[in-house]
Structures are given as structure tokens and as C-alpha cells.
Amino acid sequence: MTQIIINILIAIYNGMIFLHIPYALGFSIIGLTVLIRLVLYPLISSQLKASKKMQELSPHLKNLKTTHKNDAKRLQQETMKLYKDHGVNPAAGCLPVIIQLPIIWGLYSVLQEVVRLAPDKVVSEVNSKIYPVLSFFKISAPWDPTFFGLPLGKTPAQLFSTMAIIAILVPVLTGFFQFIQSKMMFSVPPKKEGEKEKKKDDFASVFQSQSMYIFPIMIGFFSYTFPIGLSLYWNTFTIFGIIQQYKIAGLGGLSVWINKIYGKK
């Protein structure tokens, strides 16, 4: 997995170098992320569509749950019927989620290593990972480890003394985009089965209801301690996700705010 990702990354990097694009490493990271997102696009789209319809149906589902409280089999059949009538087809099951996780993790671990390579080791380290078949992709000179002046291998924490604004801006932006995505995801406040079940410890229930806010802050904090190259990857990933979500399911939970800004309602 790791090696495949490195080979694709270097292939893109070679393309960038061939076209004399500056900051080729940074753009290669963006390119690789976009490529993977494009491959996953149909799978995730189908999931988003199903998810949107299911959210619309959730009041009906609640009704069914109360009417067939004691008959689990009947409830199952009625649910199935409801989905069929409204054309919900969660055909992919949980595959989109399960497939994404190793990919996200794989990209993370590869980029983590790649951006941190010392300039004198770049050529030997990278070339040792290239498949023999693809040996024409071997690089001959170390890459430019910066992206518009930002050192991709350094963390905002390390840059705090020299570029304080950047060091703050990167985590804030990363958290912000993450928040936009989370906000769009839940068009209705996430009230789920967790409510009916006995409320366990307070921390868990707070975490659930506030995960939309907690998670972006966590991500922002992570990006403060991770190399900027990783934040570049993660933001590309999130922004692509936001655009895809917007195209498929609309603004979702964000629409409330957008309407406020434009003075509607």
C-alpha cells in the first residue's frame, strides 16, 4: 500500500517537473489527493445520495419504530418497504466508509514520511521505493521542500517563532474546513438511538452532541503538530469533500447560516 502510494506520488511529481511547474512537491500532494478523491467519487456520491434520502425519511422511521415497538421482524419489513417506496438504495452498504479509512491512513503515513525526508536523503530514499518497472520515474535531484514559501516538512509548532501568522493560520483553516464539512453533513441535529438508550456517562453524551465542534478543534490542534505537507493533504481532501457534498446533497446544515448571511427567512 505504502509503496503504491509513493509510486503514484512520484509519477505525478515527474509530470509536474516535466511541465516545469514550480513547487512541484506541494502540487503533487494536492494532485494525488484529488486523484484518489476522483476515484472514490462515484462510491461516495451514492452513499451521500442514500444518506440524504434517509435523513428526509427519518421522521417516518421514528413513527414506524413507535408503532412496531414490540415486533422487531415487522419493523424490519416495514423499514425495508419504506426505503423501497422512496427509492433509497444503500446498495454500497458500509463499503464507502470501510474503503476510505485505509486510504486516508495510507496517505497520511506516506506523506508523513515523505515531507520529512532530509534534502540529502530524498533521492536515495525515494528511488529505493520505486518499482523496477517504473524505473524511468526515478528522480535525479532533491525536490524543493517548500510550497509558496512554506516548508512542507516543518510543523506550525516549529514555525511559530519565525512565521507566527502562518503557524496560527494553518491550524485555524484546517479546523474551519473540517467544521464546514461536519456542519454540512448533519442537516438535522444528530439525535439518534443514543437518546432512547440510557444516557451513560456525561462525557460520552456531550461528545456526541458536540462532535461537530469538538472534532474540528481536534483536527486544528493536530495540524499544529503535524508537518504542513500533511495539512495540505488534509485540506485538499476536506475541500474536495465539501464540494462533492454540495453538488450531491446541497448545503445541508450549513444552509441555515447561509440564509442568515443573505438575510433570507
Partner 1 sequence: MKKIFLFLISFYQNFFSYIVKNITGLNNTCRYEQTCSQYARITIEKKGVLKGLPLVITRILNCQPFQKPAFKSKNKYI
List residues binding partner 1 (CB under 8 A). 44, 47-48, 50-51, 54-55, 72-73, 75-77, 79-80, 90-97, 100-101, 104, 178, 181-182, 185-186, 193-194, 200, 204, 207-208, 211-212, 215, 238, 241-242, 245
Please report how close the Cβ of residue 150 comes to partner 1 at its closest, in angstroms. 24
Please report how close the Cβ of residue 130 comes to partner 1 at its closest, in angstroms. 30
Of 20 and 198, the one with the shorter C-beta distance to partner 1 is 198
Of 31 and 241, the one with the shorter C-beta distance to partner 1 is 241
Please report how close the Cβ of residue 87 comes to partner 1 at its closest, in angstroms. 14
Q: Give the DSSP per-residue string, the chain.
A: -HHHHHHHHHHHHHHHHHTT-SSHHHHHHHHHHHHHHHHHHHHHHHHHHHHHHHHHHHHHHHHHHHHTTT-HHHHHHHHHHHHHHTT---TTTTHHHHHHHHHHHHHHHHHHHHHH--TTTHHHHHHHHS-GGGGGG--SS----EETTEETTS-HHHHTTT-HHHHHHHHHHHHHHHHHHHHHH-SS----GGGTSPP--HHHHHHHHHHHHHHHHHHHHHHHHS-HHHHHHHHHHHHHHHHHHHHHH-SGGGHHHHHHHTT--
Of 145 and 216, the one with the shorter C-beta distance to partner 1 is 216
Of 142 and 194, the one with the shorter C-beta distance to partner 1 is 194
Please report how close the Cβ of residue 151 comes to partner 1 at its closest, in angstroms. 26
Please report how close the Cβ of residue 66 comes to partner 1 at its closest, in angstroms. 14
Of 102 and 119, the one with the shorter C-beta distance to partner 1 is 102
